[in-house]
Amino acid sequence: MPVLRLRRLKRDSAARDWSNRTTLLSKDLIMPYFVVSGKDVKRPIKSMPGISHLSIDRLVRDISQTRERGIKAILLFGIPEVKDRLGSGAYKKQGIVQRAVKAVKKNFKDIIAITDVCLCGYTSHGHCCIIGENPRPETRDPKYSIDYKSTLKVLGKIALSHADAGADLVAPSAMMDGQVGAIRDTLDKKGFKEAGILAYSAKYASNLYFPFREAMASGPQFGDRKAYQMDYRDSDEALREIGQDIDEGADVVMVKPALSYLDIIYRAKEKFNIPLAAYNVSGEYSMVKAYVKSIGYRAKGIETERNIVLEILTSIKRAGADFIISYYAKEAAGWLN
């Protein structure tokens, strides 16, 4: 297109709306929720203004608003009442996530319920795995190792309990090698061939998870997660991880976090012909909230929270994400209407 005409298109806002190539829709967004036991509980999470722990009754009420704004899918995280060394609260039939999924699907047949499958929220040590006895370097603490065999078995068990409660997709986030295959196997064997897998495939050992860990009380009590999450200096490895998860049966793959990893999203979309999700993580959410607060009333012009957030979410879609998990999902869907 000649530059002159392009310039005219840029000046005219109707023409801009018509000619732009990326349109963010409410249905692209997935809203995460932190569920706790109890009744009528709405407990704000300190580092995430606007996000709260919700009891199941409150969760159902909140989802009805989210749904009204055109959001089709939610992601559930449960906070158990007790944690132990083996994370046994994660696969209880009457566990918090299991009860929450059941309530969600009972109230909203058309809402896609996705459940996080991991151990860190349920183990007393806060790692995403079962800790073995032998001193090996995987947790980056010389005293502890990852017991892969038990971990994969338990992850399968958790996924099964979620599917049994009605989850449409399970989302394994432990970054344990072979987790997608192990879960697919368990689900198929137990008659849940229809349950899908959204794999946290390329998950980086990011410094932007703090608010989430505060919300879940899931920070590792020793070592860190660098042995199983990816190093941010690497990108080819992300593509290998995604390819492997696809081979193991993932239906949707994910890149996480989103904003510092738009290149990974772009490369993944170019390389793989499969639905791609991006996780706009807790720290990214809190950064925007802090930014909005810091510019405050002085920014009455275009730099409103709405415009900032829509720019960010649209950029993630432009990079190649089909689905965006964001704590802003509900608010943004309201702005999109």
Catalytic residues: 203, 256
CA 52 vs CA 48, 117, 122: distances in Å:
8, 20, 19
Nearer to Zn ion, 128 or 238 (CB): 128
Least Å distance, CB 21 to Zn ion, is 36
**Which residues are within 8 A (CB) of 149 and not within 5 positions of it... i.e. 6 or more apart?**
none
User: C-beta of 125: minimal distance to Zn ion in Å?
Assistant: 11
Supply 58's token pair.
């409150």
| Nearest distance, CB of residue 175 and Zn ion, angstroms | 8
Question: Residue 26's binding partner, choosing from ligand PBG, Zn ion, none, with beta-carbon cut-off 5 to 8 A by kind?
Answer: none
β-strand pairing of 145-146 with 131-132: antiparallel
Residue 220 CB, nearest approach to Zn ion (Å)? 9
The rounded distance, in Å, linking the Cα atoms of 166 and 106 is 9
Residue 19 or 222: the one with the smaller Cβ distance to ligand PBG is 222
d(CA 230, CA 220) in angstroms, rounded, equals: 16
213 is in the binding site of which of Zn ion, ligand PBG, none (Cβ under 5 to 8 A by kind)? ligand PBG
Given Zn ion, ligand PBG, none, residue 281, with its beta carbon under 5 to 8 Å by kind, binds ligand PBG
Q: Which of 74, 113, 120, 171 binds Zn ion (CB under 5 A)?
A: 120
Cβ contacts of 267 within 8 Å, gap of 6 or more: 235, 238, 239
Q: Decide: is 128 part of the binding site for Zn ion (CB under 5 A).
A: yes
Site string for Zn ion, 242-281 (x = CB under 5 A): ----------------------------------------
Joined together, the tokens standing for residue 214 give 């505060």
Q: Can you list the alpha helix ranges (DSSP code H) found in the chain?
A: 3-11, 13-19, 56-68, 96-107, 148-165, 179-189, 210-216, 236-248, 262-271, 282-295, 305-319, 329-336
**Locate tokens 């510019």: which residue?**
295
Residue 279 to residue 323: CA distance in whole angstroms: 9
Q: From the list ligand PBG, Zn ion, none, pick the one residue 212 interacts with, judged by a Cβ distance below 5 to 8 Å according to partner type.
A: ligand PBG
Binding mask 155-184 for Zn ion (x = CB under 5 A): ------------------------------
Q: Under the rule (CB under 6 A), what is the footprint of ligand PBG?
A: 116, 118, 120, 128, 173-174, 209, 212-213, 218, 225, 281-282
Q: Does 154 bind Zn ion (CB under 5 A)?
A: no
Verify binding: residue 199, Zn ion, rule CB under 5 A: no
Between CA 39 and CA 57 the distance in angstroms is 7
Question: Which stretch in 77-85, 110-118, 149-157, 289-297 sits in contact with Zn ion by CB under 5 A?
Answer: 110-118
Query: Would you count residue 118 as binding Zn ion (CB under 5 A)?
Result: yes
Binding of Zn ion by 152 (CB under 5 A) = no
| Closer to Zn ion by Cβ: residue 19 or 207 | 207
Q: How many CB atoms lie within 10 A of CB 135?
A: 10
Tell me if residue 71 falls in helix, strand or coil. Answer: coil
Chain residues in the site for Zn ion (CB under 5 A) = 118, 120, 128
